[in-house]
Amino acid sequence: MGTVLRYSLLLLLLLLLGMASELRAVEKDCLGGGFFGGVGGEVGWSLEIDLYRSSCPTAEEIIFGGVQRAVAGDPRMAASLLRLHFHDCFVNGCDGSVLLDDSPAFAGEKTAGPNANSLRGFEVVDGIKLELEASCPGIVSCADILAVAARDAVALLGGPTWDAELGRRDSLTASKSAANKNIPGPNSDLRALVDRFNRLGLSPRDMVALSGGHTIGNARCSSFSSRLKGSPPGGAAVVPGAGEVGFLDSLQQLCDGGNSTALAHLDLVTPVAFDNQYYTNLLNGVGLLSSDQVLVAGGDGQVLAIVEDYAADPMAFFQDFKAAMVKMGRLRAPAGAAGEVRRNCRVVN
């Protein structure tokens, strides 16, 4: 009887160990540990939560401190840092290529159409990188700095936070042509938006959630000039309401005289709060960019329903925004692309 009991206990122990192993695997997958191929990437690029806990334990604290100082001095910088991460990931994956200056070997992405005289925050990243190199040289990639800085910028303006997946490598090159081709423009119609996100494995819901990043920040008159021409975005046959007419009139006054560099808030109601007001603005016809307003006026019922969901439920927006940011942050460089940890985010080592 004793032998049978010991045998039974052994089987039970083995069963419990197997279940624990499976649970750890599920937990690791849910939290982002392990390997992600991404669109166009090869399996083997490891992303983990709290990756630098041993190699650079103050890494995320240093990044947060740099972002906090920058946003305290200029709240608009939060949107700029979020946008840097977005524009980085949309060009050959999240590899820090957007930070590279032009070189004899390539034309960088900073002068591409969607980025020229528009992207900001490079000096903030430079300062953070200097601190990290002094604390733990050669450990934290510039691409990871962008991912953590974007998260912290959102949180500092009242938005959600999430566990940052880390372990990206910095690219050895950049692509101005890919930036021009892949980054959605401010005048994109709905079909173009859905297509560009879909090519990266991002769904229409991801697209609408990530567009909610426009609840903070500003845009120049040159970015929303098509909104001033009076034609509905996407060609939808709608008659502008009184609120929209007044909104467009105010924009026209701002931009009169060819002042293409004047700035307008992307969210005119709560411009420095990360909230769901952006979606209410769209439903009221007062989205600033054509690529914003087209989410409602583009004639796609599925997309419109998502906008309505987020306008009614800020927590639904926050949850989907977090999930979409993590998903976007997993976008990989093309298969076979070499990478490194840059000492200076503007140039390869």
Catalytic residues: 87
Of how many residues is the chain composed?
A: 349
Is 88 annotated among the ligand-binding residues? yes
Is 41 annotated among the ligand-binding residues? no
Helix ranges restricted to H, the chain: 2-31, 59-73, 76-89, 122-135, 142-156, 176-182, 190-199, 204-211, 242-255, 277-283, 290-297, 301-312, 314-329
Q: List all residues 6 or more positions away from 278 whose beta carbon is below 8 Å from its beta carbon.
A: 211, 212, 214, 215, 266, 267, 287, 292
Helix 59-73 to helix 76-89 angle (10° resolution) is 130
Give the single-character DSSP code of 244: H
Is 161 annotated among the ligand-binding residues? no
Is 267 annotated among the ligand-binding residues? yes
Is 39 annotated among the ligand-binding residues? no
Is 256 annotated among the ligand-binding residues? no
Give the single-character DSSP code of 164: P
Is 250 annotated among the ligand-binding residues? no
Burial class (CB in 10 A: 0-12, 13-18, 19+), 274: buried
Is 102 annotated among the ligand-binding residues? no
Is 131 annotated among the ligand-binding residues? no
Distances in whole angstroms, Cα of residue 113 to Cα of each of 69, 118, 180, 283, 349: 29, 9, 6, 29, 27
CA angle 312, 318, 320 (to 5 degrees): 95
Is 215 annotated among the ligand-binding residues? yes
Residues making up the binding site: 88, 91, 93, 95, 97, 109, 184, 214-215, 267, 270, 275
Point out the annotated binding site for substrate: 184
- Residues belonging to the binding site for heme b are 214
